[in-house]
Amino acid sequence: MPRKGKVDVPLCKAVLSKHPGNCMGIRYTEDQKRLITAAREGQLEEVKDLMKSGVDIDCELKYGSSALMIAASRGYDDIVRLMASSGAKVNRRNKFGISPLSEAAERGHHKVLRTLVEFGADVNMLHNNGGTAILAAAVRRDLKTLRVLLELGANVDIENFDGWSPRKWVLSESDPAFIEALGIAKHEHHEVGMKVEGSVAKEELKETRVMVSPVGQAFWTVFMRASASGDLETVRRLIEDGVEINGQSPNGTTALMAAIKNGRSEIACELVELGADLSICDQDGLSAIEWAYKKGLSSFLTVLKERDLLSEVSVDGTSDRATLVQ
């Protein structure tokens, strides 16, 4: 028996030998399978022949991806240009919110980026977390890709769901090369609550600047992500290494809130046990307890009630407001 979570390769090969498609239950025609292979291996002439035969170039692949995404991720600009000019959907997103442009940006395929934008790709398309390709480039410290995206019209003030924009991220990292690339004035350095083009960032951001541990901002961001994804081992290790357990993102989200929003009851309980503050509120005035109530995280609320940390709260969602025992 194969181990749980592992792909049974021989079984997959056996299935594929009898049925077009893959182990996710998607069935492809023989021409679609050839198109996927050609896009993956950079076989331009094969792609041309298949397109002439009428193959569906936008056929949905595993997790909603497409042959264009595959070619973009591999940096095959000639195939990307051919498919895009023939009407392939350049702004299609897969189930993770990733587009062909995002794939090209992540791998530093700058020529592909320019081609995609030439044929209508949205350089500011949002990922599932609300972020953009240029924010991802800033986080990866990919200065070359960041500059190309700026050249193509990327907006540096779009915030993801945790309140981070490329501008805020660059300011928090204080890297002179990135600051210069974004054309940020000296007086803006380290300024998280700043004026944004056409509007003003929320005043609360000025009062909830990110609290960081001595190990730095990027280290703390890993802590937030580990909490949201349920990586208990990493959460414990980072706390032992001195990360600020009650640090807040620009919109006031804490690691505890991130865990709760993503249904990570075990992580949330562990964070409370290790000292996470239940009374901290985000910029919308909601505490971790209130987020647990909104998300229906009854297992977490039950644990808090058993520890006498709650009053006037029903774990089945019938109370008006979750209240912290002072």
Instruction: Tell me the pLDDT tens digit for each residue of 27-54.
Output: 668 888 899 899 989 999 999 999 999 9
Q: pLDDT digit string (tens) for 201-242?
A: 333 323 323 333 323 344 456 788 788 888 888 888 888 877
Instruction: Tell me how far apart the alpha carbons of residues 216 and 222 are, in angstroms, rounded to a whole number.
Output: 11
What is the chain's alpha carbon radius of gyration, rounded to the nearest angstrom?
Answer: 23
Q: What angle do CA 177, 179, 182 make, to 5 degrees?
A: 110
Three-class SS state of 187: helix
Q: Which domains does the chain have, with CATH numbers?
A: 1-90 (1.25.40.20), 217-324 (1.25.40.20)
279 burial type by CB count under 10 A (0-12 exposed, 13-18 middle, 19+ buried) = exposed
Instruction: Tell me how far apart the alpha carbons of residues 6 and 119 are, in angstroms, rounded to a whole number.
Output: 39
Instruction: Tell me how far apart the alpha carbons of residues 192 and 177 are, in angstroms, rounded to a whole number.
Output: 18
What pLDDT is stored for residue 122 in this prediction? Answer: 96
Alpha helices in 156-201 (DSSP H): 166-173, 176-181
What pLDDT is stored for residue 11 in this prediction? Answer: 44
Assess contact for 254 and 281: CB atoms under 8 A: no
Q: pLDDT digit string (tens) for 70-110?
A: 999 999 999 999 999 999 999 999 887 889 999 999 899 99
What pLDDT is stored for residue 311 in this prediction? Answer: 56
Assess contact for 319 and 285: CB atoms under 8 A: no
In the predicted model, is pLDDT for residue 24 greater than 80?
no
Residue 97 CB neighbour total at 10 angstroms = 15
| pLDDT-based confidence at residue 251 (cuts at 50, 70, 90) | low
In the predicted model, is pLDDT for residue 315 greater than 70?
no
Identify the H or E element spanning 196. Answer: strand 195-196
